[in-house]
Amino acid sequence: MTNVSSTKKNRMWIIICYFSLIIMLSLFYTGKLLDWPLSVLVMEIITIVILILSFLNAFIKNNLWRMVHAADKYLDERELQIVLRALRFSYSIFTITTLVIIYGFAIAKKGPIDVLLAGALVLFAHTLPAAVIGWRERVVITEQ
């Protein structure tokens, strides 16, 4: 069975996913600074749940994650070209984003990047090619 998902719906879930990732990081550093008041902890948990749900809707349900992480032999020529373009574009975005963060930390003299930010960057790196495909493609067909 196939399910056609619109570009607007894909874009909405991608935005929610990345926005919740940024909010999660912001709340974590706010909580750390304020010694974790209950309100910040609750908002952090809610944001993590939203992040997980948006990740599932943006990348798993429409098979974008599988497409980007599949071996070449499982993709047809068209899919290979789409993934290659997305990887090229994603590499540029990720490199610029990471450099801005690293230089931002250096200028602010905040020390090395911690484990949470490094984990968020890994998630960003792994989802960005799928996000580019989900953002650009008119429809994504899910086979079940």
Count of domains forming the chain: 1
Query: Which pLDDT does position 144 carry in this prediction?
Result: 44
Measured distance CA(144)–CA(130) in Å, rounded: 19
Q: What b/e sequence results for 16-43 when a residue is b if at least 16 CB atoms lie within 10 Å of its CB, and e otherwise? A: bbbebbebbbebbeebeeeeeeeebeeb
Q: With contact defined as beta carbons under 8 Å apart, do 27 and 44 qualify?
A: yes
- At residue 2, the pLDDT reads 42
Closest CA to 142 of 3, 6, 31: 3
Q: Where would I find the beta strands (DSSP E) of 1-144?
A: 2-6, 139-143
Range of the domain at 105: 2-143
Report whether pLDDT(105) > 80: yes
* C-alpha to C-alpha distances, 28 to 37, 78, 106, nearest whole angstrom: 11, 41, 20
pLDDT digits (tens, 9 = 90+) for 26-84: 999 999 999 999 999 999 999 999 999 999 999 999 889 999 999 989 999 999 999 99
Residue 140 has pLDDT above 60, yes or no: no
Q: How far is CA 10 from the centre of its chain?
A: 12
Are 116 and 25 in contact by the 8 Å Cβ rule? The answer is yes
The CA distance from 43 to 22, in Å, is: 13
Section 78-105 average pLDDT: 94
